[in-house]
Structure 1
Amino acid sequence: MKDLKVLLVGINAKFIHSNIAIRYLEKYTKDLNYQCIIKEFSINDREERILEDLLKEKPDMIGFSCYIWNIDMVKHLAKLVWLISPQTEVFFGGPEVSFDGLRFLRDNNGDIIIEGEGEETYKELIEYKIANINNKNRDNILDGLKKIKGLYYKVGNEVLYSGKRSLMDINKVKFPYTEDDEAMDNKILYYEASRGCPFGCKYCLSATDLNVRFRDIETVKKELDFFSSKGVKLVKFVDRTFNCNVKFAMEIWRFLIELNTNTMFHFEISADLLTPGEVELLSRAPEGRFQFEVGVQTTNVEILENINRKVNTENISEKVKQVKNLKNIKQHLDLIAGLPGEDYNSCRNSFNDIYQMEPEEIQLGFLKIIDGTPMKAEVEKWGMKYSPVPPYEILKTNTMDYWELIKLKRVEHVVDKYYNSKKFENILKYFVGSFTTPFDFYSSLGEFFEEKGYLSRNISNADYYKIFIEFNEEKLGKDSKVLKEIIKFDYLLYNKKRWLPGFLDRLLTNEELKIVKNIVLKEYLNLDKNKLHIEKYSINLEKFIQETLIVKKNCYYLYESEGINETKEITECVQNNL
């Protein structure tokens, strides 16, 4: 009897990502007598290579995990498989095909869609296929699928639906990783301790599953310990609102705080739900153990009501600042542009509101109109026009026109490059204070990028610094002598010290450098003179960093290595010995 051979295929957004969905399916059917092979690629891989890699296995079935970022590639690969190997069955699963399966299967090459949660449906499908492996009448086999809930399938030219399957017990899900998984330390691994979300935000697919189900807490601890033992760098919890259950969240956080590990754990949380007890517990976390993603989306109360988002924005601000003051947890705050009823000025206000919270990262995203979300049913109400192709991004609404969204795209670009990288903090501080609001600065800088053509071509690392001088002189009409000193300080923190780009000046002569270096080596006996770097500045940088004040004064800074590092002011030491 021939063994059934199935390929489960994940095409990830980036090489460092991993696909948890196909691993769940493979582990859930480990006890079945068939060959199951996991194949992972990225959207940057060539389709020809992926196709060759799949077909050389001579599989009976190929299953694709479908998301916004890969659906076009999946549809094309499915067509190519059908053209070259029509006897190979193709099935699909994932959020991108679960909410309009009849249309998708009718319009694309492929045989089956697994709707929603896939573990139990997939297992029953494979059991059925194993039992019918030698049956050559393909349409008869497909017609027998009507007893397996949660399937769309083709019989001839007709697409049939077997009916909705009930949500499964999450504790039946098998841990998706094993000892023999390759290169765990080089990948972002995904994990879920719960399914569902208590909130019904209209733009989110989680609005279709308000029944939150938690995995057994002791099982979760055991599985998290596995990541630590394997030296995984980053584990991302895919739980939609991790802290919706205080007791559950605190027990997991307490376990991870006490764990002896270098693994970082990423959580999506609702900051306004944080309790004083949780904040106190988080204060004990080792630096770098946790990072939080907080979906603010907008700080406009009326717009929050439009999307059925029940949060207190003042409470979010308070809790984000409390966590920031702990100085041990990195926070990433999200905004969404193009929400129903929101205009450009409201987006500006929301940006300024979260900017003053000083998170480590700000993401300005754009509304996506996704099948299966309540938002899809309201597009006419809000005058929404959106792209018909993935990622289905908003193009205009009755309160936000296309060109305003384009301006926000430019803000997104410069915020991500400059603010989120953390390599330009003092330069940004210099400029933000010269504008009415932080948004006005980033908007102006984004427009400057467009005018100069920087958005449409690659520019060098040094040019990203040089742009500030151009912006200062051409857009603001200011002299850049002081600015160049601030740029030089930030540049040397994150780049090689032995070379400065031509638009920056070294103030130390070779003769003065020898004198200063000898002074420093006598004062700091443990320094490696071969890695020692000293820089002279014409302004009091400490005064600027701490108070944003420009005071002209010669000062000296010591850098002890060629890498990214902290620097030390040595002005007093040098001047006392000159």
Structure 2
Amino acid sequence: MHILLPTLHVRPSPQAVPLAAACLKAALPEESRRRASLLDLYPRQSDAEMLAAILAAAPDLVAFPLYVWNRRRLLALARQLRQARPDLILVAGGPEVMADSARVHAEGVFDYLIGGEGEETFATLVARLDRGEKPSPTDPLTASPPPPEELPSPWLSGALIPSEGGGVLWETSRGCPFACAFCFDSRGTRGMRPLPMARLEAELDLFVRHRAGQIWILDSTFNHPPERGKELLRLLARKAPHIHVHLEAKADFLDRETARLLGQLSCSVQVGLQSARPEVLRRIHRNFEPREFARKIQLLNQAGVTFGFDLIYGLPGDDYAGFRQSLDFALELTPNHLDIFPLAVLPGTELHRDAIELGLRAQTEPPYEILESPSCSAAEIEACRLLAAAVDLFYNTGRAVAFFSALLRVPGWKGSDFLLDFADWALTVAKIPRERFLDGESWQAADILELQEGYLSHLFKKLERPDLLPAALDLLRYHFHYAETLLGPETLPSPPEELRNLDPWLAPLRLAEGVRLVHFSYEILDLLEMEDSELEEVALLFRPVGSVAVFLRRGEEVLCESLEEDFLTLLSGCDGRRSPEEIFAGTVIRAEGEEIVRFALAEGFLLPAP
């Protein structure tokens, strides 16, 4: 029996790893495992393309993990599979089956549903089908989860193989010790089951050997209990300090040692704030003391750790003003980014169970988003959505964290005031269609830069402070190009043997792909020294004399240097058609010019034209 395990991902990304499907495959006996294969599907594919990909594998059994983001699409796909291949055995599992099994069963599409952690149940089902048995397809098949030491590793079994430079999803435990009313992470049970450290060490060795680029640790709270979190960080620092790690933490359990260990890694930490209103958080079983939270976050700042917050709007008892209050609190702590979501009233959660009593009206189909509540009208939910989109565009994708507070000090606004003004300008003056403004994924970084420049020009004119605009735009452009350079190709020195037979003065040259030349109003290095100062102070101390800087990446470091006139003439003139002799056109003698060219070639700024 050929088994196919397709996964419909959210989008193509380093996180698009079919971990759940691979766990099912790893749990099969070796002979069955050889007959099982994984298939990655993406929303941009048409239903016909997905159907063709599945049928091309000629499976006998197809098993889908169902999530909030793919349930509708996969149900439709399963119906088409049933029509095309009536003999196919169709199986579904995942959070949507566990939380909403009755409605999934009522769809009448799947032969079998698997609830809970599916490895053991799926392996048993496959074994029975291989023996010619036909289990009754009624209630979801379930089994008690095995002890952590008995769970097979999808990585060590070979069900998944890390790709060089790619992403890895890494389970270090299962379960959740908390009981937040909105969350399904605990899967209906309290408590954590940590995976054995020996397994984690072997998996990490595998990731390092395969040169994985990023690791997402799937613990909903990696630092609980704190000592195990520290043990995990020490393991990462010892074996993989060069791999970027993404973690989720609870601020309550942050301490100076944890922050220090995080500071030794290349990492980003996401902290679940959700709301800054203690009375709102108490209703969903979370404790919060604002000053203590801020003190814990300051430990991350002091250790130089990149961190972000999660915020949710539409929580029971919260309103639009409360969401703005939470946003302002979060922005004052200078997170690297803010992930903001509408409340999802997920089946299987306490909020879903008590929705009628609480007066929560939400979508009845995935993604189950809140529509209105007694404290937050439908209009206020839409206002929250617009403000969240402004945060995503200007602050997150616009890389505004480093200069955002400097911008706020000019009008004396709170962060939410600024972002609402930006949203209003974008919709009314720039005439950005509302749906496009709300769709953050439709924007390219360069388009957002142009939008930010337009808004800042409008804002400083409105504030009657045009003298501060050049410094504000310089900071904006610096951080944009810094981030783009960091994400772009590395610029490496050229091997001497590649340049041995090259006449650097007469050969056509081109700028390396990862090198950027950026124009600024001020001498950019002077401005960066004053980055934490008021914009007024910059305008008083410096004149906008202009500069051009070169940006390039070496490893994880971005280099930014202001260019002297001859070096700028050379780099800006190398278009792949002209030689340095033609570019300088007699303004520089050959001996001096050739010295500059040789340096630029050796450092990899310039390359011979193809």
Is the shorter-chain TM-score for this pair beyond 0.5, marking a shared fold?
yes
Partner secondary structure for residue 103 of structure 1: helix
The answer on whether the counterparts of 1:355 and 1:438 sit within 8 Å (CA) in structure 2 is yes
1:369 Cα deviation after fit: 0.7
Gap runs ≥5 in structure 1:
136-140, 144-152, 154-159, 497-529, 572-578
For the residues of structure 1 that align with 2:449 and 2:222, how far apart are their CA atoms?
A: 40
Deviations 1:361-408, CA, capped at 9 Å, x for gaps: 111211001111111012122221112222111111110112222122
For the residues of structure 2 that align with 1:417 and 1:95, how far apart are their CA atoms?
A: 31
Change beyond 3 A, Cα 1:263–1:473: closer
1:49 Cα deviation after fit: 1.1
Task: Please report the TM-score for the alignment, with normalisation by the length of structure 2.
Answer: 0.77
Partner secondary structure for residue 64 of structure 2: strand
- 1:463 is matched with 450
- 1:554 is matched with 543
Partner secondary structure for residue 161 of structure 1: coil
Residue 231 (structure 2) aligned to one of 229, 243, 251: 251
For the residues of structure 2 that align with 1:267 and 1:256, how far apart are their CA atoms?
A: 12
Change beyond 3 A, Cα 1:280–1:538: closer
The answer on whether the counterparts of 2:162 and 2:168 sit within 8 Å (CA) in structure 1 is no
* Letter paired with 1:14: R
Q: Would you say 1:276 and 2:263 are equivalent positions?
A: no
1:33 Cα deviation after fit: 3.8
For the residues of structure 2 that align with 1:280 and 1:536, how far apart are their CA atoms?
A: 38
Change beyond 3 A, Cα 1:38–1:466: same
1:298 Cα deviation after fit: 0.8
* Letter paired with 1:464: L
- 1:486 is matched with 472
The answer on whether the counterparts of 2:182 and 2:344 sit within 8 Å (CA) in structure 1 is yes
Partner secondary structure for residue 436 of structure 1: coil
Q: Would you say 1:295 and 2:272 are equivalent positions?
A: yes
Q: Which piece of structure 1 moves more, 174-183 or 335-344?
A: 174-183
The answer on whether the counterparts of 2:311 and 2:341 sit within 8 Å (CA) in structure 1 is yes
- 1:472 is matched with 459
* Letter paired with 1:472: L
* Letter paired with 1:234: Q
For the residues of structure 2 that align with 1:435 and 1:177, how far apart are their CA atoms?
A: 52
Partner secondary structure for residue 30 of structure 2: coil
Change beyond 3 A, Cα 1:107–1:533: closer
1:261 Cα deviation after fit: 4.5
For the residues of structure 2 that align with 1:493 and 1:465, how far apart are their CA atoms?
A: 12
Change beyond 3 A, Cα 1:120–1:337: same
1:172 Cα deviation after fit: 1.4
Q: Which piece of structure 1 moves more, 273-282 or 174-183?
A: 174-183
State the identity %: 21
Q: Would you say 1:55 and 2:33 are equivalent positions?
A: no
Change beyond 3 A, Cα 1:315–1:37: same
Deviations 1:155-214, CA, capped at 9 Å, x for gaps: xxxxx2267532321221122125685662354321111111111001001242212111
Partner secondary structure for residue 242 of structure 2: coil
The answer on whether the counterparts of 1:82 and 1:88 sit within 8 Å (CA) in structure 2 is yes
Residue 135 (structure 2) aligned to one of 142, 145, 150: 142
- 2:10 is matched with 13
- 1:420 is matched with 396
For the residues of structure 1 that align with 2:151 and 2:58, how far apart are their CA atoms?
A: 29
For the residues of structure 1 that align with 2:274 and 2:47, how far apart are their CA atoms?
A: 35
- 2:592 is matched with none
- 1:157 is matched with none
Change beyond 3 A, Cα 1:249–1:424: closer
For the residues of structure 1 that align with 2:300 and 2:382, how far apart are their CA atoms?
A: 33
Partner secondary structure for residue 268 of structure 2: strand
For the residues of structure 2 that align with 1:301 and 1:378, how far apart are their CA atoms?
A: 20
The answer on whether the counterparts of 1:272 and 1:312 sit within 8 Å (CA) in structure 2 is no
Aligned 1:109-124 pairs, distance under 5 A: 109-124=109-124
For the residues of structure 1 that align with 2:19 and 2:292, how far apart are their CA atoms?
A: 34
- 1:24 is matched with 23
* Letter paired with 2:367: P
Task: Please report the TM-score for the alignment, with normalisation by the length of structure 1.
Answer: 0.81
Change beyond 3 A, Cα 1:275–1:469: closer
1:236 Cα deviation after fit: 0.8
Q: Which piece of structure 1 moves more, 61-70 or 554-563?
A: 554-563
For the residues of structure 1 that align with 2:516 and 2:48, how far apart are their CA atoms?
A: 48
The answer on whether the counterparts of 2:474 and 2:521 sit within 8 Å (CA) in structure 1 is no
1:218 Cα deviation after fit: 2.0
For the residues of structure 2 that align with 1:180 and 1:335, how far apart are their CA atoms?
A: 35
The answer on whether the counterparts of 2:221 and 2:250 sit within 8 Å (CA) in structure 1 is yes
Partner secondary structure for residue 99 of structure 2: coil
Aligned 1:167-316 pairs, distance under 5 A: 167-177=145-155, 181=160, 184-207=163-186, 208-283=188-263, 285-286=264-265, 288=266, 290-316=267-293
- 1:165 is matched with 143
For the residues of structure 1 that align with 2:59 and 2:312, how far apart are their CA atoms?
A: 42
The answer on whether the counterparts of 1:341 and 1:382 sit within 8 Å (CA) in structure 2 is no
1:233 Cα deviation after fit: 1.1
- 2:319 is matched with 343
Q: Which piece of structure 1 moves more, 103-112 or 10-19?
A: 103-112
1:531 Cα deviation after fit: 8.1
Deviations 1:53-108, CA, capped at 9 Å, x for gaps: 11122211111111111111101100000111111011101001212212211124
Deviations 1:15-73, CA, capped at 9 Å, x for gaps: 12112100001011042446111111122222211110111222111111111111111
The answer on whether the counterparts of 1:271 and 1:294 sit within 8 Å (CA) in structure 2 is yes
Q: Would you say 1:91 and 2:88 are equivalent positions?
A: no
Change beyond 3 A, Cα 1:334–1:70: same
* Letter paired with 2:292: N
The answer on whether the counterparts of 1:170 and 1:215 sit within 8 Å (CA) in structure 2 is yes
Q: Would you say 1:130 and 2:127 are equivalent positions?
A: no
Change beyond 3 A, Cα 1:560–1:477: closer
1:449 Cα deviation after fit: 2.3
- 2:340 is matched with 364
Quote the RMSD (CA, aligned, Å).
2.8
* Letter paired with 1:236: W
For the residues of structure 1 that align with 2:552 and 2:361, how far apart are their CA atoms?
A: 47
The answer on whether the counterparts of 1:555 and 1:569 sit within 8 Å (CA) in structure 2 is no
Change beyond 3 A, Cα 1:166–1:531: closer
Count of residues paired in the alignment: 508
* Letter paired with 1:400: C
Partner secondary structure for residue 331 of structure 1: strand
For the residues of structure 2 that align with 1:142 and 1:67, how far apart are their CA atoms?
A: 25
Change beyond 3 A, Cα 1:377–1:52: same
- 1:69 is matched with 69
1:282 Cα deviation after fit: 3.4
For the residues of structure 2 that align with 1:435 and 1:549, how far apart are their CA atoms?
A: 13
Deviations 1:257-276, CA, capped at 9 Å, x for gaps: 12254211211110111233
Change beyond 3 A, Cα 1:570–1:52: closer
The answer on whether the counterparts of 2:549 and 2:562 sit within 8 Å (CA) in structure 1 is no
The answer on whether the counterparts of 1:336 and 1:364 sit within 8 Å (CA) in structure 2 is yes
1:561 Cα deviation after fit: 2.3
* Letter paired with 1:226: L
For the residues of structure 2 that align with 1:77 and 1:532, how far apart are their CA atoms?
A: 49
For the residues of structure 2 that align with 1:382 and 1:531, how far apart are their CA atoms?
A: 55
For the residues of structure 2 that align with 1:260 and 1:107, how far apart are their CA atoms?
A: 46
For the residues of structure 2 that align with 1:444 and 1:210, how far apart are their CA atoms?
A: 44
Change beyond 3 A, Cα 1:213–1:531: closer
The answer on whether the counterparts of 1:410 and 1:447 sit within 8 Å (CA) in structure 2 is no
- 2:496 is matched with none
The answer on whether the counterparts of 2:403 and 2:475 sit within 8 Å (CA) in structure 1 is no
For the residues of structure 1 that align with 2:324 and 2:552, how far apart are their CA atoms?
A: 37
Partner secondary structure for residue 339 of structure 1: coil
For the residues of structure 2 that align with 1:215 and 1:413, how far apart are their CA atoms?
A: 38
1:555 Cα deviation after fit: 4.9
Change beyond 3 A, Cα 1:533–1:120: closer
